[in-house]
Homo-oligomer: A and B are copies of this chain.
Amino acid sequence: MKYDFDMKNLCPATFSFQVIGGKWHLPLMAILSENETIRYNDLKRRLDGITATTLTNALKELIAHGVVRREAFAEVPLRVEYSLTESGKELVPLIEAIVTWGGRHMPEIEPF
């Protein structure tokens, strides 16, 4: 998402929102939060339907924002492990709080 309006006091909001703002970022973080570390192809399998390009981009963004860590091991075949950083782990309960809110208020809209 590209922002061009002035965000003097919303700037941290923009930052936060960019972290959770991609289509796959939230599911991705959910899976990462359930695993100490996880490998690229395992992640890809768990995120059913994601393409390699999109997964790679999402991971790069999360890494650039400091919430995900990438560790490559010089093994054969190559092993690459992804995990949440401390900053990323801090974000998880906040996301969960918003999800809990969703759980409480979704029924008001469309009963299920």
Contacts and interface: CB of A to CB of B under 8 A. Distances in A.
A77 interface: no
Interface of A: 1-7, 10-17, 19-21, 23, 26-27, 30, 47-50, 64-66, 87, 90-91, 94-95, 97-103, 105-106, 108-109
A106 B10 contact: no
A5 B109 contact: no
A105 B66 contact: yes
A13 B30 contact: yes
Contacts of A21: 21
Copies of this chain held together in the complex: 2
B102 A16 contact: yes
Contacts of A99: 10, 12-13, 16
A101 B94 contact: yes
Contacts of A50: 5
A96 to B, nearest CB: 9
B16 A101 contact: yes
